[in-house]
Amino acid sequence: MRILLASPESGVWNSRKHIHMGLGYLAGALLAHGYQVDLWDAAVEEDLESFDERLARDLYDIVGISAPTPLIVSAWEAAESAKKQGATTIFGGPHLTLMPHESMQKPQVDLVVRGEAEQTIIEIMHALERDRGTLGSRDKDTGKQGRALSDSQPVTPRLFDPNAGWGDILGLSWRDLQGKIHHNPDRPLADDLDAIPFPAHHLFKIERYTNLNPLTDGLDPKARAYTIVTSRGCPYKCTYCSKPITGDTWRGRSVDNVIAEWRWLVEELGATEIGVTDDIWNLDRTRAKDLCRALIDNRLNHVPWVTIHGMKVNNTDQELFDLMKAAGCKRVGFGVENGDDWMLRHVIKKGQTVDMARQAFGWAKKAKLQTMGFFIFGMPGETEESMEKTIQLALELDPDLAHFLMAAPFPGTEMWEILEKHGQVFSHNMDWSQIAIQDDKAHFAFGDLDTETVERKWHEAHRRFYLRPKRIARIVTRGDTWRRFPYYVKAAGSMLLGLGEREAA
Ligand code: B12
Ligand code: SF4
């Protein structure tokens, strides 16, 4: 069986192109079980060859498509093309885990996988092998499984024979021979991450991906930038955070297992930059320190690495940052979110205070690490005063890079429930493609706070943070400024002047 795993691209997320670890992990599991698999990531392929061209060039029996919420509409479009080519379509990823039935109602979606899927995908392959009777024979001329359709023929969903064991596959949604949709019980979270095969890093066209933070200096813009997941899950319950896949239970890989993958990336795949993308990599501080010591002991500390999102300001100390620096870490990212303790405690429920952020930034800077802060504007309950406190805190902490984001409601979060109760979002008729973080429009008004005020404070944050004389001096004196000039002009138009993405471009 030939399998293609694909990710549609988000038009809004255009500054960073990172490898898709979900597809990498699935491909790793399939390869470990002897299946042939290819990857297609729109983020880096679409400029060269469209999805339709790719499907026409190669014959695939199975097309697996991944989708977070903002990409689900593009994913449905991609599935339509795959079905026209006679493939069986399998969907998975965050949005499918949150809203599986919505996609199962689409004729172009044959199977939906909820949650972590390394084991589920293998069980699906075995069931498909048992269920060949309903697969339709291969076309004698084209060799294609199923039947390629002409443009005028409607796509119909594939039906499955329960005798092939479909009902036993945890975390799967499927249709029986009568077309009835079944949602099997959820699959429990994988408890032994060391037992999961490494992601198929070697299948990514790594030279087409960007470095891990194009906005900042110090990292090689042409880096071979890989990412690594050293733990999954997070026990905190921040009200805006959507973590349908990795869940609330933190599970760490053993230090030895992480080091083996890190060594592969550095010594065989030529990684020149590595990003840790855990939800919260420092939940177990002892393990985090052990991992740093192991990177030093194994002489893997010459390749710079960054914690892209996953560091919590609590659970840190000076020793941790010193060890990270010695282990090759270049930059740490922290979710600061808000400058108002009341907001942090009662609205965001972050389990941290403003003082904890001050302390962590102090320690990280003392260890000579670059710092990055994430700040959210416009949470329900936010006021102009609390947003002002957030700007003040960003100026005080003065990270190397400040990411100011406007709150984006994702289904399954407490924020979504609050907004739904107040009639601000509707699960049944949302335009999912409009929900995105890193956008320059506020997604909702709440209480006395209107969208204009949120957008004004968000633009003001960019201006007051980035247009300080010392910041401008830093950019002007940087080696790569002139090469990156067009990018800066575009970013300035969008973030500082309030031009839309298109006008700014
Ligand atoms: C690293 C990361 C990025 C990176 C890399 C992108 C990537 N897709 O890997 C960058 C910075 C580029 C990025 C961008 C975006 N991201 Co992002 N990202 C993450 C992060 C922190 C880790 C992802 C990861 O590596 N997970 C580990 C792997 C193993 O899990 P996984 O990818 O979910 O895959 C598993 C299952 O979902 C499933 N699965 C996935 N795909 C498929 C496909 C098939 C066929 C099957 C059967 C199963 C299956 O099997 C996989 C193995 O178990 C997550 C948070 C998180 N912890 O999940 C957010 C997260 C996934 N991102 C999110 C969002 C919203 C985005 C953007 C849409 C941002 C935007 N513009 O609005 C873009 C979309 C880009 C894209 N094409 O996917 C949200 C999704 C929320 C939601 N409800 O959909 C998350 C959950 C963050 C959050 N809490 O808000 N992201
Ligand atoms: S934002 Fe970070 S700390 Fe909060 S729940 Fe999500 S992963 Fe955990």
Looking at the predicted structure, is the pLDDT value of residue 397 above 80?
A: yes
Q: What is the pLDDT of residues 352-377, one digit of tens each?
A: 999 999 999 999 999 999 999 999 99
Give the model's pLDDT for residue 217: 53
DSSP letter string, 315-376: S--HHHHHHHHHTTEEEEEEEEE-S-HHIIIIII--S--HHHHHHHHHHHHHTT-EEEEEEE
Give the closest residue (by CA) to ligand 2 atom 4: 238
Q: What is the pLDDT of residues 144-195, one digit of tens each?
A: 555 567 777 789 999 999 999 999 999 999 999 999 999 999 999 999 999 9
The CATH code belonging to domain 2-183 is: 3.40.50.280
Q: Give the number of the ligand closest to the Cα of residue 281.
A: 2
CA distance 276 to 264: 15
Q: Which of 1, 25, 112, 121 is the best mutation target for the ligand 1 pocket, counting ligand atoms within 8 Å of the beta carbon and taking the most?
A: 25
Q: What is the pLDDT of residues 18-68, one digit of tens each?
A: 899 999 999 999 999 999 999 999 999 988 889 999 998 888 999 999 999
Q: CA distances (Å), 460 to each of 266, 337, 385, 386, in order?
A: 41, 16, 13, 14
Give the model's pLDDT for residue 505: 27
CA distance 436 to 201: 27
Share of the chain above pLDDT 70, in %: 86
Give the model's pLDDT for residue 499: 47
Query: Residue type at 450?
Result: D
Kind of pairing, strands 370-377 and 401-406?
Answer: parallel
Q: Which of 5, 35, 212, 437 is the best mutation target for the ligand 1 pocket, counting ligand atoms within 8 Å of the beta carbon and taking the most?
A: 437
Chain-centre distance for alpha carbon 139: 38
Looking at the predicted structure, is the pLDDT value of residue 138 above 50?
A: no
Give the closest residue (by CA) to ligand 1 atom 9: 20
Q: Which of 3, 5, 26 is the best mutation target for the ligand 1 pocket, counting ligand atoms within 8 Å of the beta carbon and taking the most?
A: 26
Nearest atom, ligand 1, residue 411 CA:
83
78 vs 432 pLDDT, higher one: 78
Give the model's pLDDT for residue 276: 95
Name which of 124, 165, 131, 166 is nearest 146 in CA terms.
131
Q: What is the pLDDT of residues 292-307, one digit of tens each?
A: 999 999 999 999 999 9
Looking at the predicted structure, is the pLDDT value of residue 378 above 80?
A: yes
Start and end residues for every CATH 3.80.30.20 domain found in the chain? 210-497
Give the closest residue (by CA) to ligand 1 atom 2: 277
Chain-centre distance for alpha carbon 187: 21
Q: Give the number of the ligand closest to the Cα of residue 198.
A: 1
Nearest atom, ligand 2, residue 234 CA:
8
Give the model's pLDDT for residue 145: 53
Give the model's pLDDT for residue 362: 98
Q: What is the pTM of this model?
A: 0.93
Nearest atom, ligand 2, residue 237 CA:
5
Instruction: Calculate mean pLDDT across residues 490-501.
Output: 54
Q: Which of 242, 248, 281, 443 is the best mutation target for the ligand 1 pocket, counting ligand atoms within 8 Å of the beta carbon and taking the most?
A: 242
Three-state secondary structure along 186-212? CCCCCCCHHHCCCCCHHHCCHHHCCCC
Comparing 325-334, 459-468, 470-479, the range with the smallest average pLDDT is 470-479
Give the model's pLDDT for residue 148: 67
330 vs 310 pLDDT, higher one: 330
Q: Determine the distance separating the centroid of ligand 1 and the alpha carbon of 280, expressed in angstroms.
A: 15
Give the model's pLDDT for residue 232: 97
Looking at the predicted structure, is the pLDDT value of residue 438 above 70?
A: no
Looking at the predicted structure, is the pLDDT value of residue 233 above 70?
A: yes
Q: Which of 241, 356, 374 is the best mutation target for the ligand 2 pocket, counting ligand atoms within 8 Å of the beta carbon and taking the most?
A: 241
Q: Is residue 137 very low, low, confident or very high in pLDDT (cuts 50, 70, 90)? A: very low
Give the model's pLDDT for residue 223: 83
Give the closest residue (by CA) to ligand 1 atom 4: 18
CA distance 471 to 494: 18
Q: Determine the distance separating the centroid of ligand 1 and the alpha carbon of 68, expressed in angstroms.
A: 6
Start and end residues for every CATH 3.40.50.280 domain found in the chain? 2-183
Looking at the predicted structure, is the pLDDT value of residue 494 above 70?
A: no
Q: Give the number of the ligand closest to the Cα of residue 413.
A: 1
Q: Which residues line ligand 2 (CB under 6 A)?
A: 234, 236-238, 241, 243, 279-280, 312, 335
Q: What is the pLDDT of residues 342-354, one digit of tens each?
A: 999 999 999 999 9
Q: Give the number of the ligand closest to the Cα of residue 199.
A: 1
User: Tell me: domain 210-497, CATH 2.160.10.10, correct?
Assistant: no
Q: Which residues line ligand 1 (CB under 6 A)?
A: 7, 9-10, 12-13, 16, 18, 20-22, 25-26, 43, 64-66, 68-71, 90-95, 98, 113, 116-118, 121, 229, 241-243, 245-246, 277, 279, 309, 410, 436-438
Looking at the predicted structure, is the pLDDT value of residue 451 above 60?
A: yes
Give the model's pLDDT for residue 325: 98
Nearest atom, ligand 1, residue 91 CA:
45
What is the chain's mean pLDDT, rounded? 89
Instruction: Calculate mean pLDDT across residues 261-272.
Output: 97
CA distance 303 to 372: 19
Looking at the predicted structure, is the pLDDT value of residue 439 above 80?
A: no
Give the closest residue (by CA) to ligand 1 atom 71: 13
Give the closest residue (by CA) to ligand 1 atom 89: 242
For the stretch 287-316, what's the b/e string if a residue is b when 16 or more beta carbons lie within 10 angstroms of its beta carbon?
A: bbbebbebbeeeebbebbbbbbbbbbbebb
